[in-house]
Structure 1
Amino acid sequence: MTIKISKINKLSKHGPCPVYIHGCGFNSALGLNAEEIHARLQQGRSPDMIPVSGWLNDGTDTVVGKVVSELPVIPIRCKQQDSYNNRLALSALLQIAEPIEQAIAQYGHERIAVIVGTSTSGIADNERALTAKNENGNFPEDFHYCLQEVGNPSEFIADYFDLKGPAYTLSTACSSSGRVFLSAKRLLQAGIVDAVIVGGADSLCRLTLNGFHGLEALSSTLCNPFSENRDGINIGEAAAFMLLSLSSELQPLDADKPQQAGNSGKPIALLGAGDSSDAHHISAPHPEGNGAVEAMRKALADAGLTPQDIGYVNAHGTATPLNDEMEAKAIHRVFGVQTPVSSTKPFTGHTLGAASAVEAAICWHILHYSINLPAQINDGQIADNLAPVNLVQPETKLTKQAVLSNSFAFGGNNISLIFGYVHD
């Protein structure tokens, strides 16, 4: 593949350079469409966070975030890539098919990249195939080993839209689909491509559930972020995707159809991204939140913003004892007690490699539709040993122009993303 390098964007040399968002597709336990997503965020509950039995090897019950919508059919031309995870991804991608087609028409198939974050890819299908082989001695006829490859989601998306630009997958545990935004920004600012499809998809599987259960990190009830009684995560499945470019608008396929900028009337962009790798421990975060602080401060610097410019922090907020204690310290060190904070994992579950994209999508919905901030859902018994942070109460409005979202992964792989309005 020959990659043509276009003129490097000069704004990146002279100050913050926004990366514009041209649509967001999202499917999770929060629902598939905007009306359902907003209603559940405002009601403070998602009925698709459901208790399940029989998933864990020791018979313990747990709660999972389940996608219940009907998933689209993979076309015949991509039949060898027909996995549950790819159908889940496609359910979100079809929501932004129009801007993707606009970008193809404007820039060409070779100038659009695909970067996906995932942690399990097609493992759920492999579990079913292995069960069938153990029972009857053969894999199912439609099973193919490539479905388990971590790079399969990005290959599928590139094939589905017939894209010829760079296509690859990042897998850094729970920060996977956050790092794709940083990688996309670098590709765009280097002039390697003109648009990038970014996001993540992860589906429920026994491997992940039993793995976290083995780490004693799984809750048997709805997760309880920042509570004295928090005892672990809920696993969820989801897909969320966005189309990014350095242009504030795409040329419409229908010249008479106006561009949509959301309720705010202002374009929404990735304003900044920051990362760090403190490598404190293979699974536990640094107890003082040093890596988290570094990621948030890098994102602010990248965006050219101060902590006072941020109107909401979407916390990683896993409801594990170590994460919430660390993150409260880190947020307090950067933002004090003024900035509203909440974890939205009680609405979606922890969607692992897709978590960053899922929470980026929630931030996009807040900005695009001017909805209230998601209130913090827990049992109301806030832990006394947590550093003070301003947990969101019901009916809280966004009063600033930008929001920040955190994702912290195994090995101290941290990412912070800032999204907000762009004023021309």
Structure 2
Amino acid sequence: MPALAIRAFTATTALGRGRAAQAQALEQRRSGLRRNDFGSDPLETWIGRVDGLEQAPLPAGAGNWECRNNRLAWLALQQDGLMDAVAAVRERHGAARVAVVVGTSTSSIGATEDAYARLEDGRFPADLARPIVHQPHSLGDFVRHAAGLRGPCITVATACSSSAKVFAQAARLIRAGIVDAALVGGVDTLCGSVLFGFNSLGLVSAQPARPFDPARDGLSLGEAGGFAVLERGDDAALLLRGYGESSDAHHMSAPHPEGLGARLAMRDALQRAGVDADAVGYLNLHGTATPANDAVEARAVDALFGDGLHAGSTKGWTGHTLGAAGIVESVFALIALADGLLPGTLNSSARDSACGPQIRLDNARARIRYAMNNSFGFGGNNCALLFGAA
């Protein structure tokens, strides 16, 4: 696959707004998790909540899209010169030649929850009688409008792999000649459906998430938004080199016990880039801190990579941000390439004996040429991305 230039990238999480806030917290090993204070009857757990989101306004004329999820999208879009990069590719190619491809798992369902809670004679209250915020494409429609783009606008909703798969979708659009550039990203915000839904599956821990720890007992949920600008060409300092996708369809919510789909996705990303596994310096693991998922991913990584790989899960920093995890953790992989900061795994005091030596708890510093990000979703929706330094 021809490499694609990454013109700009950013993330906003519980660690703060923009790349610098993410990098500083990663380096200081400072978690963004806190005791759950979301909702009127908070579940006993820890969450990664973005501060100031309730007061974050949308741009003028965007009232139709008003909701927590789109407020976070707008906040994230304004960081790290992202909108300047969008303006530059729009000027070079025209608004119709720049795609918008975004991932989300719940979109603005929080607004729909609120609308049902405040029904008036069986109807949504007037302030929420806006159909666009009650559908999965709410995010994509808002981002297209906010960015002033008129190319294909696609929403990817494949659970927790959603905003990793946007890179693959954008690469195909560019390779097919449909567009010359793409704004990709993902946003998911906390809501009752997420917190209590995951809890009903027995996946939420009452403690901060401890990925790959022998005593891990579940995940911590979070919210986040992030974006990147991709463009045809290989003249940037950071590049998208390959992607791999698979769907093992083993179970509605449990991974394939041998990690088949995960291995296929990672292998295909390497093959598409023409890169050997030994050349990868950093791997951001999906690492949710649930007993089954971590063991399966560790097994898949050990089957493909040598002992020298530095692999870690960053969900102890941000929580599991669901449909936004792919873009957020791609930003972390790009930080590793740009700055040489290789995050380990936070909150874990030991490595499960079932894990291979690739799983690291401590941070490291090294100049690397390739970094990978894994994102795996319910139903066996898997995506691995390979990024490279020019």
Paired with 1:26 and 1:365, the residues of 2 have a C-alpha distance of 11
Task: Describe the shift of the 1:56–1:356 C-alpha distance in structure 2 as closer, same or farther (beyond 3 A).
Answer: farther
Name the residue aligned to 2:311: 341
Q: Show the 5 A alignment for 1:95-114.
A: 95=79, 96-114=82-100
Task: Describe the shift of the 1:32–1:248 C-alpha distance in structure 2 as closer, same or farther (beyond 3 A).
Answer: same
Q: Does 1:419 align with 2:387?
A: yes
Match of 1:77 among 61, 66, 76: 61
Amino acid at match of 2:26: L
Contact 1:342 1:392 in 2 (8 A): yes
Paired with 1:239 and 1:150, the residues of 2 have a C-alpha distance of 16
Amino acid at match of 1:91: L
Residues 354-385 of structure 1, C-alpha deviation per residue, up to 9 Å, x if partnerless? 110110011122223x1421121133132223
Paired with 2:182 and 2:362, the residues of 1 have a C-alpha distance of 35
Q: Show the 5 A alignment for 1:132-147.
A: 132-133=118-119, 139-147=125-133
Name the residue aligned to 1:63: 46
Name the residue aligned to 1:33: 18
Q: Does 1:295 align with 2:265?
A: yes
Q: TM-score under structure 1 normalisation?
A: 0.87
Q: Show the 5 A alignment for 1:307-386.
A: 307-368=277-338, 370-386=339-355
Contact 1:226 1:378 in 2 (8 A): no
Alignment length, in residue pairs? 387
Q: Show the 5 A alignment for 1:24-423.
A: 24-46=9-31, 48-52=32-36, 55=39, 60-70=43-53, 72-95=56-79, 96-133=82-119, 139-248=125-234, 267-368=237-338, 370-394=339-363, 396-422=364-390
Contact 1:295 1:415 in 2 (8 A): yes
Paired with 2:202 and 2:39, the residues of 1 have a C-alpha distance of 15
Q: TM-score under structure 2 normalisation?
A: 0.94
Deviation at 1:145, TM superposition (A): 2.8
Residues 110-134 of structure 1, C-alpha deviation per residue, up to 9 Å, x if partnerless? 1010010001111112222222227
Structure 1 residue runs of 5 or longer lacking an equivalent are 1-15, 250-265
Task: Describe the shift of the 1:269–1:134 C-alpha distance in structure 2 as closer, same or farther (beyond 3 A).
Answer: same
Deviation at 1:161, TM superposition (A): 2.3
Task: Describe the shift of the 1:56–1:295 C-alpha distance in structure 2 as closer, same or farther (beyond 3 A).
Answer: farther
Residues 382-416 of structure 1, C-alpha deviation per residue, up to 9 Å, x if partnerless? 2223344341423x113420101101111111100
The share of aligned pairs that are identical, in percent, is 38
Greater C-alpha Rg: 1
Paired with 1:348 and 1:301, the residues of 2 have a C-alpha distance of 30
Amino acid at match of 2:181: A
Task: Describe the shift of the 1:400–1:141 C-alpha distance in structure 2 as closer, same or farther (beyond 3 A).
Answer: closer
Paired with 2:18 and 2:166, the residues of 1 have a C-alpha distance of 24
Task: Describe the shift of the 1:195–1:54 C-alpha distance in structure 2 as closer, same or farther (beyond 3 A).
Answer: closer
Paired with 2:105 and 2:359, the residues of 1 have a C-alpha distance of 31
Paired with 1:80 and 1:216, the residues of 2 have a C-alpha distance of 36
Question: 1:200 is paired with a residue of what secondary structure?
Answer: strand
Paired with 2:373 and 2:44, the residues of 1 have a C-alpha distance of 30
Deviation at 1:56, TM superposition (A): 9.2
Task: Describe the shift of the 1:53–1:66 C-alpha distance in structure 2 as closer, same or farther (beyond 3 A).
Answer: closer
Q: CA RMSD in A?
A: 2.0
